[in-house]
Amino acid sequence: MNLELESLGDAEGALAVFDPATGSEIGRATTYSEDDVSSIITLADAAGQEWAQRTAKDRAAILSKWFALTKQHTEELARLVTAESGKPMAESRGEVAYGASFIEWFAEEGKRAYGETVPTFAAGKRVMTIKQPVGTCAAITPWNFPVAMITRKVAPALAAGCAIVVKPAEATPFSALALERLAHEAGVPRELFRVVPTTDPAELGTLFCTHPRIRKLSFTGSTAVGKTLMRQTSDNVLRLSLELGGNAPFIVFDDADLDAAVEGAMASKYRNAGQTCVCANRILVQDGVHDAFVEKLKTRVEALKIGAGCEEGTTLGPLINSAGRDKVARLVDQALSAGAKPVTGATTSDAGEGFYEATILTGVTSDMAIASEEIFGPVAPVIRFSTEDEAIRIANDTPYGLAAYFYARDVGRVFRVMEGLEYGMVAANDGILSTEVAPFGGIKQSGMGREGSSHGLDEYLELKYCLVGGI
């Protein structure tokens, strides 16, 4: 199976794709017009009717083949991810494994879409529930996880018995096209799962929300676009999953294991150069350990090796593009003008156009833009606090509610803080919480719905109440 970029691309294609490390064009992808995609949705819907009739076991067998092929082609997929998203090869390989894990999980979970029998409310009547596929789905995915954000939506849709059409991010269509090719090779019917790159995301977004055959939309990306889609889906009352922006607090209490907290902060903050919605966005450190934590973090941050993702040993890649880098530079410069202090970094990097140095700022306060906007870059803004109540108040003082992290050893505190944080996901004494077995998702303006776990399958199923009377 050829997954080389040249075989996925199209020299005449309208969508130019760039290497974030150099800014140079790496290929072009074919794009699809509104009319093309409208026909693709109609064909997908027809294929979905047939797919839904198959047994869950048949569907699982095909998904398992897709999983095996994805694992088998890890290296080619990882090269594509690095080429178009810029992330270091080690992280790209990790992403392929993470992405594949959703295919494996949902291949198995699809077989367990159980209904219930309910003790009846009246003699002569029986009450049951069954779960059925929601119908034809559309998905819109971001560039920061060009493999995993596709499989996290497509695998449960297919496992549940649905067809799905995906619009990948403009920056990263090739990873998506490679996954589509592998799925078709595994036996997923061609019309059932299609990837449709475009240079006009608003046009396809509107089509997905209004096409009469689409029953569900799943979106991962910015809160602003999520809100637009939410408005647009209201006319057809679509089922909606939204995984939007975050403003994750990472709290280090006086009783924390400091080395473990530094380890967690590195993983949570600098993964994918800080470009994930669950990256620590604010580091809150209690008075008693503030200076020691910052010193230890500085040592680790200064050991990061900045460079192109394809270079051996790189641990910090470029930002997705110069707009991403400029946003980070603006937030840091504003914070410095408002009184924050640079501990390390705080400047663009001479590694190339899209690079920003790994940065730590101290003296950050909640009123600074860097503490309220999603940074999406390798910058750790440190906010100092005194009491547990103050930490929880600062942490919750945001319209977002995706992920939160804290380090503490007092067991009472662990429970108090875990329960007090208004977030969809909270990790105590760990800096990474992403896994296919747990429900990933947010509350407040971070979105709705869950991905991964059995809850992720339910997003693609309707629960039907069945009453049988006259018994």
Ligand X SMILES: O=C(O)CCCC(=O)O
214/244 with CB nearer ligand NDP = 244
In terms of CB distance, is 199 or 435 closer to ligand X?
435
Residue list 274-303, contact with ligand NDP (CB under 6 A) = 277
User: Which one of ligand X, ligand NDP, none is in contact with 170 (Cβ closer than 5 to 8 A by kind)?
Assistant: ligand NDP
- Position among 191, 243, 357, 436 found at the interface with ligand NDP (CB under 6 A): 243
Residue of the chain from 18, 32, 145, 293 that contacts ligand X (CB under 6 A): 145
Q: Any catalytic annotation for residue 243? A: yes
First to last CA, the chain: 57
Binding status of residue 45 toward ligand NDP by CB under 6 A: no
Tokens of 267: 């993983």
Window contacting ligand NDP (CB under 6 A); options: 38-46, 136-144, 249-257, 331-339: 136-144
Cβ-count burial 28-56 (b if 16+ within 10 Å, e if not):
bbbbbeeeebeebbebbbebbeebeeeeb
Ramachandran region of residue 429, left (φ > 0), alpha (ψ -120 to 50) or beta?
left
Q: Interface with ligand X by CB under 6 A: which range of 62-70, 141-149, 365-373, 421-429?
A: 141-149
Q: Distance between CA 94 and CA 354 in Å, rounded?
A: 22
CA–CA gap between residue 8 and residue 18 (Å, rounded): 15
Which is the catalytic residue, given 243, 374, 388, 436? 243
Q: Which residues in 416-435 contact ligand X (CB under 6 A)? A: 434
Residue 410's CB is within 10 A of a number of other CB atoms, namely 14
CA-angle at 170, arms to 227 and 97, nearest 5°: 95
Residue 434 interface partner, choices ligand NDP, ligand X, none, CB cut-off 5-8 Å depending on type: ligand X
**364 interacts with, out of ligand X, ligand NDP, none, CB within 5 to 8 A per kind:** none
Among 94, 189, 201, 439, binds ligand NDP (CB under 6 A): 201
440 beta partners: 451
The residues that bridge with 387 in the sheet, in sequence order, are: none
**How many residues of this chain bind ligand X (CB under 6 A)?**
11
- Residues 201-260 touching ligand X, rule: CB under 6 A, are 220, 243
Residue 202: which residues within 8 A CB-CB, separation 6 or more?
Answer: none
Q: Give the distance from CA 319 to its chain's centroid.
A: 16
What is the dihedral sign for C-alpha 13, 18, 24, 27? Answer: negative
Q: What is the DSSP string of 178-236?
A: HHHHHHHHHT--TTTEEE---S-HHHHHHHHHH-TTEEEEEEES-HHHHHHHHHHTTTT
Least distance between ligand NDP and beta carbon 192 (Å): 21
Q: Which residues contact 312 (CB under 8 A, 6 or more apart)?
A: none
Q: Could you say which of ligand NDP, ligand X, none residue 278 binds, taking C-beta under 5 to 8 angstroms by partner kind?
A: ligand X
What radius of gyration, in Å, describes the C-alpha atoms of the chain?
23
**Contact range with ligand NDP by CB under 6 A, out of 108-116, 165-173, 354-362, 424-432:** 165-173
CA 148, chain centre distance (Å): 7
Q: Return the residue of 1, 16, 202, 369 that touches ligand NDP, per CB under 6 A.
A: 202
The binder of 363, among ligand NDP, ligand X, none, by C-beta within 5 to 8 A per type, is none
CA 337 to chain centre: 32
Binding mask 146-185 for ligand X (x = CB under 6 A): --xx------------------------------------
Binding part of the chain for ligand X, among 46-54, 142-150, 313-321, 325-333 by CB under 6 A, reads: 142-150
144 forms part of the interface with ligand X (CB under 6 A): yes
Cβ atoms of 265 and 311 closer than 8 Å = no
Stated as kind and residue range, the H or E segment containing 153 is helix 148-160
Binding segment for ligand NDP (CB under 6 A), chosen from 70-78, 134-142, 405-413, 419-427, is 134-142
354 binds ligand NDP (CB under 6 A): no
The answer to whether 286 and 242 are in contact (CB under 8 A) is no
Give CA–CA dist 197/168, Å, rounded: 6
How far apart are the C-alpha atoms of 451 and 157, rounded to whole Å?
11
Among 277, 284, 329, 391, indicate the residue that binds ligand X (CB under 6 A).
277
By CB under 6 A, is residue 84 in contact with ligand NDP? no
Residue 427 has, within 13 A of its CA and on its CB side, a CA count of 24
330/464 with CB nearer ligand NDP: 330
Q: Which residues bind ligand X (CB under 6 A)?
A: 144-145, 148-149, 220, 243, 276-278, 434, 440
Residues involved in catalysis: 243
Binding residues (CB under 6 A) for ligand NDP: these are: 140-144, 167, 169-171, 201-202, 205, 220-222, 225, 228-229, 243-245, 277, 374, 376
